[in-house]
Structures are given as structure tokens and as C-alpha cells.
Amino acid sequence: MKQPKEGNWFKRHKILTVILGFIVLGVIVSAAGGGSDSNKSASTGSGSSVKTEDKETVAKVGEPARDGKFEFTVKSVTCGKASVGTNQYLTKTAQGQYCLMDLTIKNIGDEKQSLLSSDQKLFNAAGQEYSADDTATMYNSTDTASTWYNDINPGNSVSGVIVFDLPKDQTPVSAELHDSAFSNGVKVNL
């Protein structure tokens, strides 16, 4: 009669251990992802607050727009640049044209939150989505307050430019800004 193998369950079931590890990692990432609150409180002016259901909030250029732990204020969007960079070695040329979104991001949460340019999007009039060009955004950054990637502590703000590569004949009409890849985002009409 064969004796059952003894030893650690994880060593005997390596494939299941790897699968369980990925599941646990996925749960941790989605739990830490931030996101926007489903209910917001609105002040009534008398010191009390009233719960309001989320409706699609649309801001304009110059108006603050909130998603999760971030408050975004788009200052301007300028298109038509052929290339970006801070010097001759860190330069990138657009496939079409670069559109530069100048904005300020403030952390309105209680803990640090990571800003990633890759979480931000532009849309044209037909609804086509354009992702940020991370490399161009990094090359265009002239200081340590990078909008390519930055951990922003509570109450702090970062101002900078996120770069998008659009076809030359396209004009962005709106932006969708996110505090993380898992958040609902907030729309800003340009």
C-alpha cells in the first residue's frame, strides 16, 4: 500500500498556489484602487448636508471636477505641436499632432494617491477615445512635479501637462479624468 505524500500543501499544489496568489493580488489591487464615492454630500448652506445620488457631472475648462481622491482643474488644451521634449536627447515626435492638457490635480483624500497620466483620456466629437502618451508626457515634464507619474499627499497639488497624440484633423471636445484605473472618472468639456 502506497503511503500518502507528506509535506506542505503549497509545495504539492504549485499550480493552484500560483492561481490563488493571482486572485489574492487582484483583490488587493481592486480594494486599494480608490475610485469615486457613489453618494456625495452637498451642503445646504445651513451647516447640514444632504445626500445626493451621483449623476454624470460635467465640468468646463477652469472649473474643478472631482473623481475619488482627486480634484482636477483643466486650465487649457492646446493642439498642433509636432514634437515635445526638454532637450535634444529627450524629444518625441507625434504620429499626428500633440495636444497638451495643462491642469492641476489636488489630493482631497486622507492618504497619498498615485497620479498616472495613462489613466486620463481625451475624446473627439465622434466619441473616439485617445489615451495619454506617457513617454511624451514624461519628456515634456520640466520639473519634479510630474504628471506622468506622481504620488500626491493629502492636501497637496501638482500642476503640469499631460500629452496626447491625436490625428492632425481631430480636435478634442472632452476629457475623462480618473483618480485611478478603477474609478468612474469625471468628464470635462473642452
- For the chain, give the percent of residues with pLDDT over 70: 76
Nearest to 133 by CA among 95, 164, 161: 164
Residue 150 or 51, more confident: 150
Q: What CATH number should be reported for the domain holding residue 167?
A: 2.60.40.1240
- Compute the C-alpha angle 156/157/158, nearest 5°: 135
Mean pLDDT for the stretch of residues 8-32: 70
Domain containing 142 equals: 57-189
- Band of the pLDDT at 7, cuts 50, 70, 90? low
Is 33 among the domain residues?
Answer: no
- Residue 129: C-alpha distances to residues 16, 72, 109 (Å): 38, 19, 28
Say what the pTM is.
0.70
Is 183 among the domain residues?
Answer: yes
Which three cell numbers mark 81?
505641436
Query: How many independent structural domains does the chain possess?
Result: 1
Nearest to 68 by CA among 125, 114, 131: 114
Mean pLDDT for the stretch of residues 157-184: 95
Is the per-residue pLDDT at 177 higher than 80? Answer: yes
Which three cell numbers mark 175?
476629457
Is 4 among the domain residues?
Answer: no
Is 111 among the domain residues?
Answer: yes
3-class DSSP state of 43: strand
H or E segment to which residue 161 belongs = strand 157-166
pLDDT in tens, 58-73: 999 999 999 999 999 9
Is the per-residue pLDDT at 15 higher than 80? Answer: no
The predicted structure's pLDDT at residue 10: 66
